[in-house]
Amino acid sequence: MSLLSIVNARLIDPASGRDEEGGIVCEDGKIIEIGDIIPRGDIIDAGGLILCPGLIDMRVRTGEPGRENRETLATAAQAAIAGGVTSVVLTPQTDPVIDNVSLVDYLIRKGEDLPFDVYISGALTKGLDGVSLTEIGLMREAGAVLFSNGSEPIGDAQIMRRLMSYAANFNALIANRAVEPSLSADTVAHESNFSSRLGLTASPAISERIMAERDIALAELTGGSILIDLISSKAALESIIRAKSRDLDVYCSVSVNHLCLNELDIGDYRSFAKLSPPLREESDRMALLNGINEGAIDVVVSDHDPRPAGEKRLPYAEAASGAVGLEILLSAGLTQVADGHLDLMAFLSTVTCNPADLLGLDCGRLAIGAPANLALIDPHKPWICESDKLRSRSKNTPFDGRRLTGRAVKTFYKGKEVFSL
């Protein structure tokens, strides 16, 4: 029997709305007491810092299997727990693609000995080809909690209709990128006066709205659920708000990068700020922040996409898109809280109870009997992001050199301290 008590904490639990002083007692990896506790076992004094559920990152790409030079599950775990993340959902973009039961099972087993929970997003189509449907039912039985086509949208509306109808039989959630392929193919930036001056091929924000509207209509037709993944524009958000007002099973996610950065952060062709979707205008960024505060955006993700320096240190148009984010997700969000743009409880909801509810997980909340996956946070701690000190194997981040506010100082997984700053 292992007992751990954390006392003198500010307990924040978005699932219940709890925000109060108190403590938590953990036994054998579970929470057994909350609030006005009787401390026993090993005792940690939180010193008045925030104690909340460990974060759930619903969009994490690693290089395992196939591209371990980018990131392994083990290195991703170290980055995650340093950022207060105790659960991750792996995207299917591996080599080979996670499009069958054996790979789902392999990765779940691979994650069993790591200091965080590993969940799997199975591929919607074989090899992510956008055409041949996978065995969603069998992969769900094997443990997959989400189904997507990674960064490639399902462009064919008839195939998407079949996927939604098929997935509805298993109560499976589908995620699809809000990208209209013919408008966004071979583009590297947001369509604006700024990208025109830089001479960059650009994707209009309306590309997101078109695909979002299509998938909303298909969700209504089939009765299925859809997560409109990685929106980055005010136009797409407005479509989702209208869909939610009609009580459709429509949800959306946004990358923390798009809450903190805009197209001007490309600067003088900074390839480390090349992302997919591209960074958009400041008005889009502010609309996304307001969407979180108003509850219209369900999930914030790191969109962790490790890339070696050789794939990023290229001319902007030739460089790979993507950035590491597991270690930065929490701090980037807390910085927006400190700046007065985000409500703390609203932000924490998008990285704890909301993804847990969408995926049917038992974590993401402070509740008796829930897993003791916890993050102890200093919301006022200033620090400078230095890419070479990040724990990810790859160091590609647009936040290099930026001042951030707030950080996880301790992370607990199944009642055991796995990280201390």
Q: Which residues of 62-75 are buried (b: 16+ CB within 10 A; e: fewer)?
A: bbbbebeebbbbbb
Q: What would the two tokens of residue 356 be?
A: 């847990």
Q: Comparing C-alpha atoms, which of 289, 383, 370, 381 is closest to residue 336?
A: 289
Give the pairing of strands 189-190 and 202-203: parallel
Q: Which residues of 141-161 are buried (b: 16+ CB within 10 A; e: fewer)?
A: ebbbbbbbbbbbbbbeeebbb
Q: So which residues are the catalytic ones?
A: 303
CA–CA separation, 417 and 362 (whole Å): 20
CA–CA separation, 74 and 128 (whole Å): 25
Give me the amino acid identity at 65.
P
Strand-pair partners of 51: 11, 376
Task: Read off φ and ψ for residue 233, nearest 5 degrees.
Answer: -130, 155
CA–CA separation, 344 and 337 (whole Å): 6
